[in-house]
Structure 1
Amino acid sequence: MKKSELKSFLDFKAKQYNAPEFIDSDPVQIPHLFSQKEDIEISGFLTATIAWGNRKSILKNSNRLMEMMGNSPYDFVMNHKKEDLDNLEGFVHRTFNDTDLKYFIRSLQNIYRNHGDIESIFKEYALPDSLQPAIHEFKKIFFELPHPSRTRKHVSDPLKNSAAKRINMYLRWMVRKDNSGVDFGIWESIDPSQLSCPLDVHSGNVARKLKLLKRKANDAKALAELDHSLRKLDRTDPVKYDFALFGLGVFEKY
């Protein structure tokens, strides 16, 4: 497939899947329950954190988590008491459990109290063409409080060769603006051109079939290679092609 044909094909598929119907089966529906910026940020971050495995299970547990927080995630993060954290006991999604969740709540409170908000951290450390170093710095700040060592694995680090799929998906939600109401675009201090495609087994396999990616492992090096390929197709909004790659892989078994 020629480059022009590939671009036309992926543009068509991106538009097809970057549509309101996409929300119905995707974890992005959880932050869509809210209208306040901070509620969207926090619900999105927590949902993205547990967004691996069975999609029905992800949605079920994300909704349960919002209910445990009184469907007011920002208020819960900022004003919770010890007994409120105790009420989170028993929450589990795969390897993410209530011990991890309690630290996440305390850390988010620390970020909003002492670092402005989540966006401010990414804005400070973003590079003109990448947010991957900013993810590394975010993780350092996120774990600046005393924490269980087991919890660190739930925030990926691109500088340790992780593709950081879930947090890149979260950044797409927060930063990218679209005309379909899927991604929120509420972080106006960061440009969509700085985003990286959430790389997983589905998007990776499709990218390889389309010769956008050669590297076999879905790691940080593969992400950099895929970013380079997608930026050639659209420098201003490269991660719109996440919809195309994901849709082709999951829904069309391309």
Structure 2
Amino acid sequence: MCLPWNTARNAWEVLNIISKEKLERLYKKYESRKYVHPDPLEFLYAYDDLNDREIAGLTASSLAYGRVAQILKSVSYVLDIMGPSPHAFLQNASRAFLRERFEGFRYRFAGGDNLAAMLSGAKQVIEQHGSLYECFLRGLKKNDETILPALSFFASELTRKENPGHLVPLPERGSACKRMNLFLRWMVRTDAVDPGGWEEISPSKLIVPLDVHMHKICFKLGLTARKQANMRTALEITSAFKKLAPDDPVRYDFALTRLGIRDDADPNDLFNL
């Protein structure tokens, strides 16, 4: 993707050029479900029950890498097996049953064993804490500046007795945890696009879901000079966005990522709106 701007000298210069007003116009233009497809977020809209939505969200976000057509195909395959209530499916599923049901699953680096391990870990978390939400809340302290400590706790609980491999990244290893931060954006924020449900977590603590595309945009904007899309970079970019939206630094993530994944979205919109 060819972006229409040069790298600025520092974040303050960028924040003067890319004003809050322009980002707000971009947000309002793309804040609509008609711009969601193709995005695994679309699967969450089928679940009104929060217990089902969080399991569907964990599943969809864990597979959100690679070519989008294959992401949607793989997520659809898994959710179809779990049926109308992923929560009820897990309640009645043993570890052996999960391995059997997903034996034929394969998506890039993830096989059926990885997927079964993640879902088994989710079931164990639900049995111990009551829900994925309650587990995450137990790791979150009131004075935490970001959700990072809670994310570390959540990931450790999901992997306590299971090894889902890369499907559940561990923040302490330096990963940007893009897919997990994407899941949290979906579950914490509530607007026309993000369905929310985890209401006791403040959006102000969220971290930008940083992938190659988002890193490229933010690097060219001068919001970071770091070359690696890791957790340190994600926190630096989040801090820059907090200068514009302190209560919701991930507010513009959906709109900005439309500029690279949809044919009907123009990167020049960031300047021309």
Residue among 138, 141, 154 paired with 1:124: 138
Greater relative contact order, per chain length (Cα 8 Å cut-off, separation 6+)? 2
Shift of 1:5: 4.3
Tell me, in whole angstroms, the C-alpha distance in 1 between the residues paired with 2:132 and 2:231.
22
Match of 1:213 in 2: 224
The AA in structure 1 aligned to 2:137 is K
Cα gap change, 1:253 to 1:90, in 2 (>3 Å): farther
Cα gap change, 1:70 to 1:216, in 2 (>3 Å): same
- Provide, for residues 152-191 of structure 1, a one-character-per-residue CA deviation record: whole Å limited to 9, x for no partner: 322112222111000000000000011x1x1112001101
Match of 1:139 in 2: 155
**What number of residue pairs does the alignment pair up?**
249
- Provide, for residues 76-122 of structure 1, a one-character-per-residue CA deviation record: whole Å limited to 9, x for no partner: 11112444641221011111111012112221111111112111222
- Structure 2 gaps of 5+ residues are 1-12, 269-273
Q: Where in structure 2 are the equivalents of 1:55-66 lying within 5 Å?
A: 55-66=68-79
Shift of 1:30: 1.0
- Provide, for residues 31-64 of structure 1, a one-character-per-residue CA deviation record: whole Å limited to 9, x for no partner: 1111111110001101100110111111111111
Identity %: 31
Residue among 44, 62, 76 paired with 1:49: 62
Once the two structures are overlaid, the 10-residue window that deviates more, 240-249 or 132-141, is: 240-249
Cα gap change, 1:205 to 1:84, in 2 (>3 Å): closer
Residue among 167, 172, 178 paired with 2:180: 167
Match of 2:8 in 1: none
Match of 2:3 in 1: none
Match of 1:198 in 2: 209
TM-score by length of 2: 0.85
Shift of 1:247: 2.1
- Structure 1 gaps of 5+ residues are none
Cα gap change, 1:84 to 1:195, in 2 (>3 Å): closer
Cα contact 1:23–1:29 (8 A) shared by 2: yes
Is 1:36 the equivalent of 2:49? yes
SS across alignment from 1:112: helix
Cα contact 1:13–1:243 (8 A) shared by 2: no
The AA in structure 2 aligned to 1:37 is L
